[in-house]
Structure formats: structure tokens, C-alpha cells
């Protein structure tokens, strides 16, 4: 860098090419075909950087802070009956009046009032943000309902299927989210509609799709109403990481409050537990824990996989 000139930082030509490709793919890293592990790594780094722009959950204020602040205000009111006052401050050179200052005690009282206002108001802001995320997720699923309906109309009422229905396979052998790619590739929806705004860690993969068994054709509309798609299955992420979570855990997409699911009749439901009747949507029917090699027991067994 030369003196007297501003510093300019530019992406390398290869990074610019990868960024353009990532943008065209709707920031779905998995949808891109790359030529090397290094390019894949740089794409994931770029995706993580853009993920910082999304909303992130904020914990509610600690009640201990609120009670301690109120107690301090009560103690101050008992000890000081005088109203808030401002004291003049004179310069040492006696050149005259310089300004006003607030005594420390009064300043602390004002600060306490501000802290209380934040403690009371911030949970309300958090709830509004959570409600907005839930609504946006539902709007995405409404778009996907229209996309499934249009796709089924063009393809004899069947649901999109790319690879999982070909040959014997289980949820741990094939990434089920690729079965939704026909919806994007043929213009029925965009990559953004496959991403819940409450989960910014998985571009294009924050929803889980009904697992499709070999030789079983799932249809849109008609017949029994089935769960077709929902928020991300938390059991799969935990199992892959070698961790355990209870089978009745809710999706990570909505901060532990529940999950949206899209039914085969186009309706959208909000579930506070991962069950439709007795059927756990995270597990094959008749199982209590997620294990490798599992498949749904039949076409009416909801098993959402990403």
C-alpha cells in the first residue's frame, strides 16, 4: 500500500467467480458443483459470512438483574427524598460558568430506569422477531405448497424425487434434500423458499422432506393426508454428531418453540411436539431412537429427512 492512498481490498478472480455462482444458486452451497475440495471449502466460508446477516436468537433478560435494579431504586428513594438536581460546574480559572453536571447518585438512578425499560421492552422485541420468523416460515411453505401442486399436476400427481427412491437406501446414505431440487430446477420455486429464516446455518437445507422408499410413489393430494415437509429434523443432526437428543425434541429452526409442517393437502400446521397423532415425524414408525439404516415402514409413515 502506498502512503497517501486509501487501501482497497478486493476478492481474487476465483473468489469472485465462486461468489457469483453462490449467488446464482440462492446461497445453496450443496447445489453447486465444484472442481476441488479447496473451492468447496471457500464456498462454505462465503456461505458462513453471509449467514451472519440473518437474524439470530437473543436470550431474554435475566430476572435477577431486574429485581436487583428495582431493589436499588427503592433503597435510593428511601435515602434521598430530594428531586433530581443539576449542579453548576465552574472552571478552575474562574472565567465563569462552564456547564452542568449530574451527581453520581442521580445518574445511577437514571441508568437504573433505562435498564428496567430495556429489561421490560427487550423480551417484547424478541417475541415480535420470533413471530416474524414463524410467519415467514409459513409463507415459504405456502409457496412450496403451490410448487408441489404445480409439479404434481405436470407429473401425474407424484411428488418430486431425484435419487432416494432408486435402489435400496436409508436416510444416512443419501441426502434427501436433493429430492427437492426439481422444484427449483424447473422453476416451481426458488432456493430461498427451501430455507427457514430461523435457521441460517444450512442454506437450502433447513427443511426436512418426506423420505421416499424404493418402489413407493407418494402422491400430492387425494388419499390420506400425510406430512410432506417440515422444519429441520433435530435427531438427524444430533445422530451424525454422535450426540443424543430425546425423540420428542422440536426443530432447531424456531428456538425450541415448535415446528411448521406442510401436509399433502396443502395445509400448514404448527406443532409444539413432533407428532401427528401417534406418528413421530422424526422417526420411522415403531422405533424409539434414530439409527443408521432405518427406513419408514410404509407410505403412511411420516419420516422427515434432510
186-208: average pLDDT: 80
Q: Which residues contact 97 (CB under 8 A, 6 or more apart)?
A: 88, 90
Query: Taking 60 as the threshold, does the pLDDT of residue 220 lie above it?
Result: yes
pLDDT given for residue 191 in this prediction: 85
Decide if 253 is inside a domain: yes
Q: Looking at the domain assignment, is residue 218 inside a domain?
A: yes
4 is a domain residue: no
pLDDT digits (tens, 9 = 90+) for 97-137: 455 556 666 667 777 777 776 666 556 656 667 777 888 88
Q: pLDDT (tens digit, 9 = 90+) per residue, 143-190?
A: 999 999 999 889 888 888 876 444 456 777 778 888 888 898 899 998
To the question of pTM greater than 0.85 for the whole model, the response is no
Name which residue leads in pLDDT, 247 or 111.
Answer: 247
Q: pLDDT value at position 125?
A: 55
Q: How confident is the model at residue 1 (pLDDT cuts 50, 70, 90)?
A: very low
**What is the domain count for the chain?**
1
Size of the chain in residues: 306
pLDDT of 61 reads 53
Say which residue, 301 or 77, is predicted with more confidence. 301
With 70 as the cut, is the pLDDT of residue 69 above it?
no
Higher pLDDT, 275 or 128: 275
Average pLDDT, the chain: 75
pLDDT for the residue numbered 180: 87
Specify the higher pLDDT residue, 278 or 86: 278
Residue 211's pLDDT is 85
34: in domain: no
> Stretch 273-280: mean pLDDT, rounded?
91
Task: Return the higher-pLDDT residue of 15 and 92.
Answer: 15
Contact 63, 123 (CB under 8 A): no
Q: pLDDT > 70: what percent of the chain? A: 61
Q: Is residue 153 part of a domain?
A: yes
pLDDT of residue 2: 45
More confident residue, 168 or 75: 75
Residue-level pLDDT at 297? 80
1 located within any domain: no
pLDDT value of residue 106: 67
Instruction: Give yes or no for residue 8 having a pLDDT over 70.
Output: no
pLDDT at residue number 148: 92
165 within domain boundaries: yes
**pLDDT of 7 strictly over 50:** no
**Which segment of 34-38, 140-144, 264-268 scores lowest on mean pLDDT?**
34-38
Distance CA 268, CA 262 (A): 5
- pLDDT at site 3: 45
Whether pLDDT at 25 is above 70: no
Domain residues for the domain of 177 are 143-305
Q: Is residue 127 part of a domain?
A: no
Amino acid at each position: 500500500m502506498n502512503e497517501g492512498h486509501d487501501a482497497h481490498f478486493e476478492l481474487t478472480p476465483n473468489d469472485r467467480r465462486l461468489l457469483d455462482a453462490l449467488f446464482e444458486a440462492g446461497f445453496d452451497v450443496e447445489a453447486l458443483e465444484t472442481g476441488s475440495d479447496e473451492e468447496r471449502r471457500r464456498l462454505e466460508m462465503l456461505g458462513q459470512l453471509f449467514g451472519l446477516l440473518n437474524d439470530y436468537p437473543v436470550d431474554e433478560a435475566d430476572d435477577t438483574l431486574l429485581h436487583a435494579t428495582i431493589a436499588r431504586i427503592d433503597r435510593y428513594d428511601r435515602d434521598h427524598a430530594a428531586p433530581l438536581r443539576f449542579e453548576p460546574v465552574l472552571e478552575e480559572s474562574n472565567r465563569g460558568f462552564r456547564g452542568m453536571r449530574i451527581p453520581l447518585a442521580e445518574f445511577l438512578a437514571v441508568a437504573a430506569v433505562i435498564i428496567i425499560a430495556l429489561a421490560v421492552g427487550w423480551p417484547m422485541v424478541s417475541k415480535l422477531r420470533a413471530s416474524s420468523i414463524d410467519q415467514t416460515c409459513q409463507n415459504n411453505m405456502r409457496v412450496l405448497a403451490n410448487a408441489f401442486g404445480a409439479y404434481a399436476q405436470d407429473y401425474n400427481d407424484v411428488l418430486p424425487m431425484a435419487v432416494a427412491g432408486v435402489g435400496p437406501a436409508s436416510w444416512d446414505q443419501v441426502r434427501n434434500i436433493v429430492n427437492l431440487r426439481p422444484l427449483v430446477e424447473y422453476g416451481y420455486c426458488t432456493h430461498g423458499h427451501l430455507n427457514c429464516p430461523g435457521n441460517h446455518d444450512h442454506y437450502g437445507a433447513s427443511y426436512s422432506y418426506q423420505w421416499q422408499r424404493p418402489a413407493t410413489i407418494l402422491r400430492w393430494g387425494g388419499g390420506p393426508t400425510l406430512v410432506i415437509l417440515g422444519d429441520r429434523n433435530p435427531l438427524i443432526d444430533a445422530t451424525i454428531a454422535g450426540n443424543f437428543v430425546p425423540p420428542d425434541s422440536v426443530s432447531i429452526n424456531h428456538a425450541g418453540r415448535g415446528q411448521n409442517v406442510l401436509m399433502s393437502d396443502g395445509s400448514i400446521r404448527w406443532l409444539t411436539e413432533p407428532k401427528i397423532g401417534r406418528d413421530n415425524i422424526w422417526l420411522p414408525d415403531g422405533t424409539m431412537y434414530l439409527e443408521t439404516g432405518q427406513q419408514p415402514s410404509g407410505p403412511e409413515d411420516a419420516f422427515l429427512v434432510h
